[in-house]
Structure 1
């Protein structure tokens, strides 16, 4: 089947334009012929394949689908126009793709600190959660990333933790009626951040005690902060709702660093099956190790090599 005919069959009757042609490579992934779906639900982000698909978000979505990806994540979704948010959601629905996380962004999350207990920060968080509900409806999202911000050196850690729990309970109250889930992400970017470890996130989830407050287990951050990832996953498993990917060092695609993603993907899949957790979305929150179309083909090859056998 020709590539254009394949696309037309997928989205017949939708009124969506087909993708432009892409260059072939005899030795690498064929960017013209549709590829089989990956066994796991990996979620690229916009810009990851723009050398092959162009800058238009809808063309990029179709390209992702044709290369075998069945999900998308977009940290910046809240900054897009309502019209584009809906168009993205409608396109994914027609292609049977799932929406992964977007970030609950109140303007400058890095300067916010829910750990301080300050009402101004809590108000911004709550108001942004309310806006996020409408964004999620437009793009068919279920999961939204939250971060509590900076550590407060003038307060005991227990008080800070209680302040974060209080704020996250407020957020959960907003999302629960809509069946939405905020996923807290422990980070490794710098030592001043409050939330850095999976056990710390687990404690907060248990205290918030809501199906709308879970953990985003970013394997790049957790390799840098903790290591022993399968052990830490297992300890906090029932509170994990979402995973993200990035090899270390470099935060690029699997096979470019020290993390054995083939082993981790198998572990996640088998444990999810054993615990009746269904299918996780695995967000590709990393860069490309090589630029241009060549790098995009190499990235797809890396996921083929790391996918389930």
Structure 2
């Protein structure tokens, strides 16, 4: 499942939920079914659409269900495109349920043409305007992190010049974000799902973050993408550790929940926990099975993979 599929799905759900604000879903209808919560060692963050067969399509109801299952974080790629009133309602629910907001996508992503790599001033200004606008979203939902993807490569420029262009854009964005104590996290994406993108490897993201040299510019280490792109997961996490601010999860192949593919998530979670990581791990993946059984399978996969202390 590609990021664009997540974004498209999130847009559909957001539209459905916003249409229901004054109609069928004006009232939150989900009622918890149990007072017994699981306790996880790390802050795993589901996304809207993951548990709709249990909780329905109202985002607030789904947040309540996530909390009931013991999840203490949540992420939403499409948060900045949701109606403001819906953002506020979700923020109120997250505060009440003690759920921490994870990432949302901060800007328009150029999948098929160069933007930040090109050095084009108009595209840079568009990016900076998106960052400024996303700060208001972050404040509204109490988000500390926002996802940045630098876009497509510029085939007419040497990689060194492209890198310099990207660094300059990120420096200017960091100057805006530092004032608000908000962090953009750069996400390298794999060549198979997203051919032609500028940022692909963890070492590349590390180099860029060192050059930008800002607390507001860090790495989003997506374990699924980096398994495909470069492998060697634990050593690369270790090498990048001082610049990693956020993780995302997905097993490979399939980009579904842990235990469905080849990645040993129990060992990875144990390593991240042993490093003292207290941040969020976004569940940016699909469900391997349909319906309620598929949703329960996701929950059970996290219980199993999180059981690394014995």
What interval of TM-score do these two structures reach, taking the shorter chain for normalisation?
0.7 to 0.9
Kept in 2: contact 1:51–1:292 (CA 8 A): yes
Query: Among 13, 30, 33, which residue is 1:19 paired with?
Result: 30
- How far, CA to CA, are the matches of 1:108 and 1:82 in structure 2? 25
Aligned counterparts of 1:232 and 1:52: Cα–Cα separation in 2: 37
Counterparts of residues 32-111 of structure 1 (less than 5 Å): 32=34, 34-106=36-108, 111=113
| Separation in structure 1 between the aligned mates of residue 286 and residue 112 of structure 2, nearest angstrom | 21
Cα deviation for residue 292 of structure 1 reads 0.2
Q: Which residue of 1 aligns with 2:13?
A: none
Gaps of 5+ in 2: 1-26
How does the TM-score come out when normalised to structure 2? 0.87
The answer for the alignment partner of 1:233 in structure 2 is 237
User: Which deviates more, 67-76 or 79-88?
Assistant: 79-88
Q: Tell me how far apart the structure 2 counterparts of residues 225 and 108 of structure 1 sit (CA, whole Å).
A: 20
Q: What is the RMSD of the two structures over their aligned residues, measured on CA atoms?
A: 1.5
Question: Does 1:197 pair with 2:196?
Answer: no
> For residues 71 and 112 of structure 1, what CA distance do their matches in structure 2 show?
33
Q: Matches of 2:305 and 2:120 in 1, distance apart?
A: 45
Q: Which 4+ runs in 1 deviate beyond 3 A?
A: 107-112
Q: Offset at 1:96?
A: 1.1
Whether 2:170 is the aligned partner of 1:168: answer yes
Distance in 1, Cα, partners of 2:272 & 2:228: 19
Q: Deviations over 1:166-204 (max 9, x none)?
A: 000111011101100000000012331000000100010
**How many angstroms does 1:33 deviate by?**
5.2
Residues 89-108 of structure 1: per-residue CA shift (max 9 Å, x gap): 12111111100000012375
The unaligned stretches of length 5 or more in structure 1 are: 1-15, 23-31
Distance, in Å, in 2 between the alignment partners of 1:230 and 1:52 is 35
Larger radius of gyration: 1
Q: How does 1:187-226 map to 2 (within 5 A)?
A: 187-188=189-190, 189-226=193-230
How far apart in 2 are the matches of 1:112 and 1:287? 28
CA distance in 1, matches of 2:243, 2:113: 27
For the residues of structure 1 that align with 2:185 and 2:91, how far apart are their CA atoms? 20
Q: Deviations over 1:101-144 (max 9, x none)?
A: 00012375654520010112101100000000000000010000
CA contact (8 A) 1:184 1:214 kept: yes
**What is the CA distance between 1:20 and its match in structure 2?**
3.3
